[in-house]
Structure 1
Amino acid sequence: MTVGTAVAVLVGVLALATGLGLLLRHRTGRARSAGTAASTRPDADGLALDTGYGTAATFVQFSTPTCARCPATRRQLAVVADQHEGVRRIEVDLAEHPELARRFDVMQTPTVLLLDADRSVHTRFEAHPAHRSSSQPSTPS
């Protein structure tokens, strides 16, 4: 392999790694809609007792014991839930319930689902929800 070829391969690998890193950074902590049609939105029945769900909305946080960002997410969601009537927070330890990681396609922790009053997944946050200094996350009405 010539020096020119080696440099070209190195530049290509660096460009690919940079592009993938920027894409991951852009997606991490951003809200993603779970779809608009009720038939395409998975429900979250069975994650908690019926009294554990909020009457307006519920945050479901998927965590693991080794998750470094989970405690900060837990505190942030607790503050938001306390500020809005009818909003509750449920935390699921994936170490105890690994089948739920497959059911809800959880690839990293914390992953947060925002459920509407019907327990359908309304919005999904992967990793720590992005901090918004000017506004609080909205809940479905």
Structure 2
Amino acid sequence: MDWLPALIAGLGLPAAATAVGLGWRARSGRLRETAGAVGAETEAAALDLGPDALGSAATLVQFSTVCCSRCPGTARQLAGVAADYEGVRHVEVDLTHRADLADRFHVLQTPTTLILDADGRQSARIGGVPRLDAVHDHLDRLTTRRTRVAS
């Protein structure tokens, strides 16, 4: 084997893999605001979440699986965030036996979190473990509150 292609492969492939990994890590947990389609079925209806399961101001919907090691910790964090706000609820949806929901909501990793507004429409999406400061900022805007409920 010629030494120059071997050197390029030996140094280039790890560098490329590192760059891809750093890019993936930077995107994971980032909140992306979304606009729900007007007139379409709400995300709450597609998930069969009735009015009693939804928060009056917002709902944090966490998609999890049995094999997900980060999902229990994320569920505890999101439940704590929901407790900080009046009218915000946390709902966990297990996708282990619900591939139809994973397809419908384009879930490629768990945990994935949707933030639904008071009408049950998606207003934000987070792939991976959420960055809590971004979740708090988004909920502050959704609930039109400047301060959170003191614990």
The TM tier, using the shorter chain, reads: 0.7 to 0.9
Judge conservation of contact 1:73–1:128 (CA < 8 Å) in 2.
Answer: yes
Judge conservation of contact 1:62–1:93 (CA < 8 Å) in 2.
Answer: yes
Q: Is 1:49 aligned with 2:50?
A: yes
Judge conservation of contact 1:42–1:121 (CA < 8 Å) in 2.
Answer: no
SS at match of 1:95: coil
The residue type paired with residue 80 of structure 1 is V
How much identity, in percent, do the aligned residues show? 43
Distance 1:79 1:137 in 2: 15
Residue 71 of structure 2 is matched in structure 1 by 70
Q: Mind listing any 5+ residue stretches in structure 1 that lack a counterpart? A: none
Aligned length: 139
Q: 1:25 to 1:42 in 2, by over 3 A?
A: farther
The residue type paired with residue 27 of structure 1 is R
Distance 2:11 2:92 in 1: 43
Residue 127 of structure 1 is matched in structure 2 by 128
TM-score normalised to structure 1 length = 0.88
The residue type paired with residue 65 of structure 1 is V
Distance 1:30 1:46 in 2: 24
- CA shift, 1:38, in A, is 4.2
- Runs of 4+ aligned residues of structure 1 deviating over 3 Å after TM superposition are 135-138
String of CA shifts for 1:64-119, please: whole Å, max 9, x gaps.
01111111111111111111111111111001321110111100100000001111
Q: 1:73 to 1:137 in 2, by over 3 A?
A: farther
- CA shift, 1:42, in A, is 7.5
Q: Mind listing any 5+ residue stretches in structure 2 that lack a counterpart? A: 144-151
Judge conservation of contact 1:63–1:70 (CA < 8 Å) in 2.
Answer: yes
What's the C-alpha RMSD, in Å, of the aligned pairs? 2.3
Instruction: Trace 1:1-141 onto structure 2 (pairs within 5 A).
Output: 1-35=1-35, 38-39=37-38, 43-44=42-43, 45-47=45-47, 48-132=49-133, 136-139=136-139, 140-141=142-143
TM-score normalised to structure 2 length = 0.82
